């Protein structure tokens, strides 16, 4: 039961020229449930951090006023709970119950009260395991549910959710939505930041749109906001419900096979699978978590040896995993799920020049390739930046660009649209469609239904996941 | 790569279920007298005592052997180094390998060193093998009055360690996908290793920062006295274990002195 009041609030991180948020006037009353929207860079996450009291006074400059129940958020910390994106870096303890108890211990809740509260909140979020379940054995969605339980156990008057489903597959995201809906209670004020608006809409009764330059652009019920601002928001990358994209499918039949997988399997990770991908087609590999999709992407990318079966590509007698790296990168480009894994240098431009240099291109050719890619993927402005400082969408575009720099005929992507805003999504789809029409082969491992509907010429569903990896208990 | 963080012993064994702080303290108190002398007698006696109490920890021998395997490698390394480079070559010559005389004196010194390593490492290995990390952190805070900021913080960081293995694999594969490999060039291999390690470190730091923020958001820095959901008891048997460890260690030291084996590490 908390009330939020902002008057001309602004925050500038130390060492930055631009204000992350500025000129915000906003009042949120007891028990309201608010979806906070705005294009990337509008300062949504900064605002949540400020409300959670997680911006120390010496970490930047503030202006205006921000109050929770009339208090500075730094002094109202015990009234506020926040759930972040990544479940892995929110869980503290090795056992699920201990993790929920962690916050209660910190707040000095008497020991006798702790365990009843732990089991009560685990029931409320629908956590299906006993309290000694190892946190390392939870799926992403389950771990995020546990993180939510750990926050709700503290009975916050104000609950902040910072893109809680962005790192989860659709099944995991559904678990979280369901858990938030189950635990929504009229005495808790709720503020959600979420790109995938349709998923959050059932949980809120008010939408606030932040303006990137500062201030609030719009504020009202979801129906009113989307009727008046839907077009503009969709154009800025927000996943406004009801905006579908026209499919872009191949117009010609695929040519010769670039890669052929014959009953290839990897012990404990991928049951035997056969698959081929030709020049000029987009193949989507779908299936539940644990079905071995990412492992298949590694096989196709020449990064992993199958334990049985065969992988053949480009008419080479040697299988791709035996090729030298330079040969591999000239033929097959791999784009990883986490873009940061792929960055090797300290500058965006160097990142793009790396592959062509390995292939022995001349400096003149390299310069042309780099400039062209920077331009096509809207990265020219960031040519001198460090790849690790890019935003999620920029890092994704750069990771795709690095794979394209060596002009491989086959492109293998693992969850390329994961957590992307609508604008980056659209750009990726158009880019991949263009590559396909130029005669490249594209294989994408994906959970994203819209991506499959819009772009895929063929879908290869993988089977059921392997059984639970938890070791069986030995009989007493 | 997964690190085995789970205890590998029967948790109900009489010594395994002692308070973690008592076990850790006992291991330290027992070892202290041993490091004062570099003779072969003290570590031999200590090893005998350690092997005698081992059954009470309920540890499975095969698993223990696996944990000791890296030590065997170290022991082998020491033996080779000593034989090759020892300055004093006293005693009778056992064998001559070209310019190198292997003498009884050299073998005795090397043997004493190897015995010391095992005698000192074994208690530590046994304690960590029979102790759940969460219990250890709890006991450090509750019984040894260690700051929670340190003990629980270290525990949380420890939880992220297994992630480093999968992270390393992903980084290595991604580098190959980018066309970066070292081939047969050892210098390039070293450079590649360094750059991968650096990327791993950067990623680990970022995750650590995010975890710290999430912990503080749940009141880890609230400043109110923490309560304890899991209670660790330090009881009379725990005190007895500590005292017994100290007395046994001192007894071995006394015996070493009495029998004239004492060879001080300093001087």
Residues B94 and B179 in one domain: no
Q: With contact defined as beta carbons under 8 Å apart, do B31 and B123 qualify? A: yes
Residue B238 vs residue B92, higher pLDDT: B238
Q: With contact defined as beta carbons under 8 Å apart, do B204 and B164 qualify? A: yes
Residues B69 and B150 in one domain: no
Q: Does B199 touch chain A (CB under 8 A)?
A: yes
Q: What ipTM goes with this model?
A: 0.84
Mean pLDDT of B245-258: 92
A4-235 and A257-461, same CATH topology: yes
Residues B55 and B94 in one domain: yes
Please state which CATH number belongs to domain A257-461.
Answer: 3.40.50.300
Task: Match 């940061």 to its residue by tokens.
Answer: A340
Token couple for B227: 């309560």
Scanning B3-32 for CB atoms below 8 A from A yields: 5
Quote the CA–CA distance of A465 and B195 in Å, as a whole number: 35
If we measure between CA atoms, which residue out of B136, B209, B141, B215 comes closest to residue A103? B215
Low-confidence ranges of chain A (pLDDT < 50): 466-476
The three-point CA angle A176-A179-A181 to 5° equals 110
**pLDDT at residue number A473:** 37
DSSP state of B173: H
Q: Does B189 touch chain A (CB under 8 A)?
A: no
Residues B107 and B178 in one domain: no
Domain spanning A4-235: which CATH class is it, in words? alpha beta
Q: With contact defined as beta carbons under 8 Å apart, do A144 and A172 qualify? A: yes
CB nearest to B178's CB, from A135, A304, A355: A355
If we measure between CA atoms, which residue out of A214, A220, A212, A213 comes closest to residue A238? A212
Mind telling me how many Å the CA of B181 is from chain A's nearest CA?
A: 6
Q: Does B67 touch chain A (CB under 8 A)?
A: no
SS3 B240: helix
pLDDT in tens, B155-199: 998 888 888 888 999 999 999 999 888 878 889 899 899 989 998
Q: Does B178 touch chain A (CB under 8 A)?
A: yes
**pLDDT at residue number A471:** 42
Domain ranges of chain A: 4-235, 257-461
pLDDT in tens, B16-63: 889 999 999 999 999 887 788 788 888 999 999 999 998 898 888 888
Query: Counting every residue, how long is chain A?
Result: 476
Residues B109 and B164 in one domain: no
The neighbouring-strand residues paired with A410 are A332, A441
Residues B99 and B163 in one domain: no
Quote the CA–CA distance of B64 and B72 in Å, as a whole number: 12
Side-chain-side CA neighbours of residue A380 (13 Å): 8
Mean pLDDT of B100-118: 84
Residues 6+ apart with CB under 8 A from A342: A335, A336, A399, A402, B174, B177, B178
Q: With contact defined as beta carbons under 8 Å apart, do A398 and A428 qualify? A: no
Q: With contact defined as beta carbons under 8 Å apart, do A100 and A149 qualify? A: yes
Chain A residues with beta carbon closer than 8 angstroms to that of B179: 325-326, 328-330, 354-355, 358-359, 406
How many other CB atoms are found less than 10 A from the CB of residue A235?
Answer: 14
Instruction: Indicate whether B176 belongs to any domain.
Output: yes
Instruction: Indicate whether B59 belongs to any domain.
Output: yes
Taking an 8 Å cut-off on Cβ atoms, the answer to whether A90 and B211 are in contact is yes
Q: How many domains does chain B have?
A: 2
Chain A contact probe: residue of B219, B226, B228 with most A CBs at under 10 A: B219
Q: Does A350 touch chain B (CB under 8 A)?
A: no
Residues 6+ apart with CB under 8 A from A384: A347, A348, A349
Instruction: Indicate whether B14 belongs to any domain.
Output: no
Q: Does A91 touch chain B (CB under 8 A)?
A: yes
CB–CB contacts below 8 A, A to B: 157
Instruction: Indicate whether B242 belongs to any domain.
Output: no
How many other CB atoms are found less than 10 A from the CB of residue B145?
Answer: 8
pLDDT in tens, B66-107: 888 888 898 899 888 888 887 777 777 877 777 777 888 888
Quote the CA–CA distance of A377 and A366 in Å, as a whole number: 17
Instruction: Indicate whether B266 belongs to any domain.
Output: no
Residues B93 and B121 in one domain: yes
Chain A contact probe: residue of B171, B221, B229, B230 with most A CBs at under 10 A: B229
CB nearest to A106's CB, from B174, B181, B219: B219
Burial class (CB in 10 A: 0-12, 13-18, 19+), B38: middle
Residues B32 and B126 in one domain: yes
Residues B189 and B160 in one domain: yes
Q: What is the chain A residue with the closest CA to B183?
A: A324
pTM across the whole model: 0.84
Residues 6+ apart with CB under 8 A from A324: B181, B183
Instruction: Indicate whether B150 belongs to any domain.
Output: yes
Q: Does A115 touch chain B (CB under 8 A)?
A: yes
Region class of A264: left (phi > 0), else alpha (psi between -120 and 50), else beta? beta
**pLDDT at residue number A467:** 46
Chain B residues with beta carbon closer than 8 angstroms to that of A355: 178-179
Residues 6+ apart with CB under 8 A from A115: A97, A101, B229
Beta strands per DSSP E along A279-336: 282-286, 308-313, 332-335
Mean pLDDT of B222-236: 92
Quote the CA–CA distance of B56 and B54 in Å, as a whole number: 5
Residues B157 and B208 in one domain: yes
SS3 B214: helix
Taking an 8 Å cut-off on Cβ atoms, the answer to whether B177 and A54 are in contact is no
Print the domain residue range for B181: 144-217
């Amino acid at each position: 039961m908390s009330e939020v009041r902002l008057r001309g609030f602004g925050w500038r991180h130390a060492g930055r020229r631009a204000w992350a948020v500025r000129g915000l006037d906003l009042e949120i009353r007891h028990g309201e449930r608010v979806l906070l929207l705005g294009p990337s860079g509008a300062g949504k996450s900064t605002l949540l951090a400020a409300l959670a009291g997680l911006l120390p006074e010496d970490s930047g400059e503030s202006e205006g006023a921000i109050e929770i129940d009339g208090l500075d958020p730094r002094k109202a910390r015990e009234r506020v709970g926040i759930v972040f994106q990544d479940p892995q870096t929110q869980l503290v303890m090795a056992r699920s119950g201990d993790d929920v108890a962690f916050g209660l211990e910190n707040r000095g809740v008497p020991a006798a009260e702790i365990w009843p509260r732990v089991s009560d909140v685990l029931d409320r979020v629908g956590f299906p395991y006993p309290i000694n379940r190892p946190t390392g054995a939870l799926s992403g969605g389950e771990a995020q549910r546990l993180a939510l339980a750990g926050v709700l156990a503290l009975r916050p008057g104000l609950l902040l959710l910072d893109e809680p489903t962005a790192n989860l597959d659709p099944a995991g995201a559904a678990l979280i939505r369901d858990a938030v809906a189950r635990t929504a209670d009229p005495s808790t004020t709720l503020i959600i930041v979420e790109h995938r608006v349709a998923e959050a809409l059932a949980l809120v009764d008010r939408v606030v749109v932040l303006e990137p330059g500062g201030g609030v652009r719009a504020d009202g019920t979801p129906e009113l906001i989307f009727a008046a601002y839907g077009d503009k928001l969709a154009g800025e990358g927000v996943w406004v419900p009801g905006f579908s994209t026209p499919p872009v499918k191949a117009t010609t039949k695929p040519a010769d096979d670039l890669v052929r997988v014959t009953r290839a399997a990897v012990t404990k990770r991928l049951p035997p699978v056969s698959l081929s991908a030709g020049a000029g087609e987009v193949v989507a590999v779908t299936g539940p978590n644990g079905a071995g999709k990412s492992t298949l992407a590694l096989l196709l990318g020449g990064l992993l040896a199958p334990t049985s079966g065969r992988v053949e590509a480009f008419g080479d007698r040697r299988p791709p995993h035996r090729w030298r790296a330079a040969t591999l990168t000239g033929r097959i480009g791999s784009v990883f799920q986490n873009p940061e894994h792929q960055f090797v240098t300290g500058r965006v431009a160097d990142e793009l020049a790396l592959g062509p240099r390995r292939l022995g291109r001349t400096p003149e050719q390299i310069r042309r390739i780099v400039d062209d890619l920077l331009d096509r993927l809207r990265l020219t402005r960031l040519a001198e930046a460090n790849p690790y400082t890019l935003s999620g969408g920029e890092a994704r575009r750069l990771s795709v660009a690095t794979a394209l720099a060596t002009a491989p005929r086959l492109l293998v992507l693992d969850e390329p649209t994961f957590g992307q805003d609508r604008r980056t999504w659209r750009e990726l789809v158009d880019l991949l469609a263009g590559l396909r029409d130029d005669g490249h082969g594209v294989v994408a491992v994906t959970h994203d239904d819209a991506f499959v509907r819009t772009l895929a010429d063929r879908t290869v569903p993988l089977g059921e996941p392997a059984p639970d990896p938890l070791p069986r208990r030995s009989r007493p | 790569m997964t690190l085995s963080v789970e205890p590998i012993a029967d948790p109900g064994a009489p010594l395994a279920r002692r308070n973690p702080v008592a076990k850790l303290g006992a291991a330290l108190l027992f070892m202290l007298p041993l490091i004062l002398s570099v003779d072969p007698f003290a570590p031999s006696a200590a090893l005998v005592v350690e092997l005698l109490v081992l059954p009470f920890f309920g540890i499975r021998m095969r698993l223990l052997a696996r944990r000791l395997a890296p030590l065997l490698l170290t022991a082998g390394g020491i033996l080779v180094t000593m034989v090759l480079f020892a300055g004093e070559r006293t005693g009778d010559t056992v064998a001559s390998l070209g310019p190198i005389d292997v003498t009884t004196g050299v073998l005795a010194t090397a043997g004493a060193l190897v015995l010391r390593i095992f005698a000192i490492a074994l208690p530590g290995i046994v304690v960590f093998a029979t102790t759940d990390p969460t219990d250890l952190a709890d006991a450090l805070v509750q019984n040894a009055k260690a700051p929670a900021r340190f003990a629980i913080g270290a525990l949380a960081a420890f939880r992220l360690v297994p992630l480093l293995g999968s992270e390393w694999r992903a980084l290595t594969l991604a580098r190959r996908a980018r066309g970066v490999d070292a081939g047969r060039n050892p210098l390039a291999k070293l450079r590649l290793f360094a750059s991968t390690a650096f990327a791993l470190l950067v990623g680990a730091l970022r995750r650590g920062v995010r975890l710290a923020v999430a912990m503080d958001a749940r009141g880890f820095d609230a400043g109110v006295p923490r309560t304890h959901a899991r209670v660790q008891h330090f009881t009379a048997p725990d005190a007895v274990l500590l005292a017994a460890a100290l007395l046994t260690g001192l007894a071995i030291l006394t015996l070493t002195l009495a029998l004239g084996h004492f060879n001080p590490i300093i001087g």
